[in-house]
Chains A and B, each alone.
Chain A
């Protein structure tokens, strides 16, 4: 019985991994610029145009989707666990908005961090919102209140961004709006390294808190009874999610939805509460979703994300998790 369970677990993870490879391949093949792959591989002369498209346009897009999918789904999963709320996510709690404000300050108001670009500003914005939300979470027992607080904070932050937009030049405004629609096509070679480091750093904070994540849904006293420091791990997880969210927001724009949706799909497919399984599962699902949505780079990412992702979530929700009688959700 147990053997078969772990077999099918690895099978499911392997299936998701295969899908990642397939979709990455598709991302490399499909695109507005067309050239013949036959010529590329079988002619003796290399076509510089084709190589350029492949390695400077499409490969960065694959990596952007992989990093963003990893970052946002892990951030979403961790936030839903820490706040014990199935609606939590980096976007809902205002963390993405915080990062956006940082970017807006650089793009619209001309604040500059020199060669470091947007990242410090976005990270500061994300941290600020995360810790505001955390402070409020200590005041309220009820985790629904927390979502209200998160939404209120994002309204204030969004209002600040609107004010910045109102008073800025047309050119700056255009680039900010384009950034806000989200895209996987903006990752440069320099950006690649920074994005990679941020994802590894954020992810390691969260992996280090695995024991906490596995127990936290049962309450803070329960966590303490297992010999874990609530304050230490809560801070680590929130730092990790802020880094992951800020990095994604900087390099791909504020991406809605992914962080909220992916954990639900992972719960439905793997039917476990163990983060040792949920984290890799969420990462693979998040990457697949990002790659799918990114297949049409001409369309703004956020529009595609919702058009494609919402039906998936509905399908998952209606086919499993909350369809139970007499079940109260903690």
Chain B
């Protein structure tokens, strides 16, 4: 697997007014599934929002594909990186296909039309997430497990390099959690995408992640491979 640095973070510290973390570096490669582990309130969501450009970093720099993230236009950035929101406002009458089709927005003109190619990309995203049988059902009729796959399908339709997910398995039971992790892992392998997600499911992180971003609960953040993360002091809080 050709490993290229997709996301490079230098001396970053994140937070709103007050810094939640000491400064840290991260280098994320293409085709990696990276899990973020940390106690509540230590800055996992804030880091994801900072990487997504929704929160301004307190210090440090973020490079996406070798270019500073602040130099991207909104539209360009949306073609490279997107956040998969797991619980957000929904319109009940929106169908699965309509929702997934919103992923093509960064490629659309101002009248928001969809080309044949767009429709095909949407159809592929629906098939890749195994949503074909209810593609034309409204969103309100879906279970939590199905809905989480619809959210991911939208990001796939956006054809980005980097997917950020905040607690994608929070509402899911064991079979659906395994299915989702498995799906995300396949996406990194087949499409060479980088996926960064936060989770409280330590066992699944151990099983599926390629590497771990560990928050030690005292403000330190580090990206390590799975084995050394669990041997280090960073995940001591998981012992309880």
Cα distance, A218 to B105, chains bound together (Å): 13
| Least CB separation from A143: chain B residue | B89
| Least CB separation from B84: chain A residue | A225
Cα distance, A274 to B98, chains bound together (Å): 8
Q: A-facing mask of B101-118, CB < 8 A → 1, else 0?
A: 011011010111100000
Looking at the complex, which one of B85, B95, B113, B136 makes contact with A219 (CB distance below 8 Å)? Answer: B85
A221 touching B88 by the CB < 8 A rule? yes
Q: Which stretch in B1-9, B25-33, B73-81, B177-185 binds the other chain?
A: B73-81
Q: B-facing mask of A248-286, CB < 8 A → 1, else 0?
A: 000000000000000000010001111110000000000
B136 contact set on A, CB distance < 8 A = 1
178-234 of chain A: CB within 8 A of chain B = 207-211, 214-215, 217-219, 221-222, 224-229
Looking at the complex, which one of A84, A210, A218, A321 makes contact with B110 (CB distance below 8 Å)? Answer: A210
Task: Give the interface residue-count category, chain B.
Answer: 20 to 34
Task: Give the interface residue-count category, chain A.
Answer: 20 to 34
Cα distance, A227 to B54, chains bound together (Å): 11
Cα distance, A204 to B19, chains bound together (Å): 44
Question: Does A329 have its Cβ within 8 Å of any Cβ on chain B?
Answer: yes
The answer to whether A208 and B74 touch (CB under 8 A), given A218-B91, A330-B89, is no
In the assembled complex, how far is the CB of residue B64 from the closest CB belonging to chain A, in whole angstroms? 13
In the assembled complex, how far is the CB of residue B233 from the closest CB belonging to chain A, in whole angstroms? 34
Question: Does A171 have its Cβ within 8 Å of any Cβ on chain B?
Answer: no
B88 touching A218 by the CB < 8 A rule? yes
Cα distance, A274 to B104, chains bound together (Å): 13
B158 contact set on A, CB distance < 8 A = 226
Which of A214, A267, A276 has the most chain B CB within a 10 Å cutoff? A214
B79 touching A225 by the CB < 8 A rule? no
Cα distance, A233 to B108, chains bound together (Å): 15
Looking at the complex, which one of A1, A217, A272 makes contact with B89 (CB distance below 8 Å)? Answer: A217
Cα distance, A219 to B105, chains bound together (Å): 15
A227 touching B78 by the CB < 8 A rule? yes
A329 contact set on B, CB distance < 8 A = 92
A211 touching B89 by the CB < 8 A rule? no
A267 touching B93 by the CB < 8 A rule? yes
Question: Does A45 have its Cβ within 8 Å of any Cβ on chain B?
Answer: no
Question: Does B13 have its Cβ within 8 Å of any Cβ on chain A?
Answer: no
B89 contact set on A, CB distance < 8 A = 84, 217-219, 222, 330
Question: Does A324 have its Cβ within 8 Å of any Cβ on chain B?
Answer: yes
| Least CB separation from A213: chain B residue | B112
76-107 of chain A: CB within 8 A of chain B = 84
A219 contact set on B, CB distance < 8 A = 85, 88-89
Cα distance, A207 to B113, chains bound together (Å): 12
B78 contact set on A, CB distance < 8 A = 225-228
Cα distance, A208 to B76, chains bound together (Å): 19
Cα distance, A330 to B90, chains bound together (Å): 6
Cα distance, A1 to B79, chains bound together (Å): 31
B111 touching A225 by the CB < 8 A rule? no
B92 contact set on A, CB distance < 8 A = 324, 327, 329-330
Question: Does B50 have its Cβ within 8 Å of any Cβ on chain A?
Answer: no
Cα distance, A274 to B95, chains bound together (Å): 10
Question: Does B39 have its Cβ within 8 Å of any Cβ on chain A?
Answer: no
The answer to whether A225 and B110 touch (CB under 8 A), given A215-B105, A217-B91, A273-B91, is no
The answer to whether A221 and B83 touch (CB under 8 A), given A207-B111, A210-B110, is yes
Question: Does B65 have its Cβ within 8 Å of any Cβ on chain A?
Answer: no
A224 touching B74 by the CB < 8 A rule? yes
In the assembled complex, how far is the CB of residue A245 from the closest CB belonging to chain B, in whole angstroms? 23
B112 contact set on A, CB distance < 8 A = 210-211, 214, 275-276
A273 touching B106 by the CB < 8 A rule? no
Question: Does B82 have its Cβ within 8 Å of any Cβ on chain A?
Answer: yes
Cα distance, A227 to B106, chains bound together (Å): 6
A-B contact pairs, 12 of them (CB 8 A): A210-B110, A210-B111, A218-B102, A226-B103, A226-B158, A227-B74, A227-B75, A227-B76, A267-B93, A275-B112, A324-B140, A329-B92
List the 3 closest pairs (A to B, CB-CB), nearest first.
A227-B78, A330-B89, A227-B75
Instruction: List the interface of chain B (C-beta within 8 A of A).
Output: 52-54, 73-79, 82-83, 85, 88-95, 98, 102-103, 105-106, 108, 110-113, 136, 140, 158
Instruction: List the interface of chain A (C-beta within 8 A of B).
Output: 1, 84, 207-211, 214-215, 217-219, 221-222, 224-229, 267, 271-276, 321, 324, 327, 329-330
19 other A-B residue contacts (CB within 8 Å) besides A214-B112, A227-B79 = A1-B136, A84-B89, A211-B112, A215-B102, A217-B94, A218-B90, A219-B85, A221-B88, A224-B54, A224-B74, A225-B52, A226-B105, A227-B77, A227-B78, A227-B105, A228-B105, A267-B93, A271-B93, A272-B98
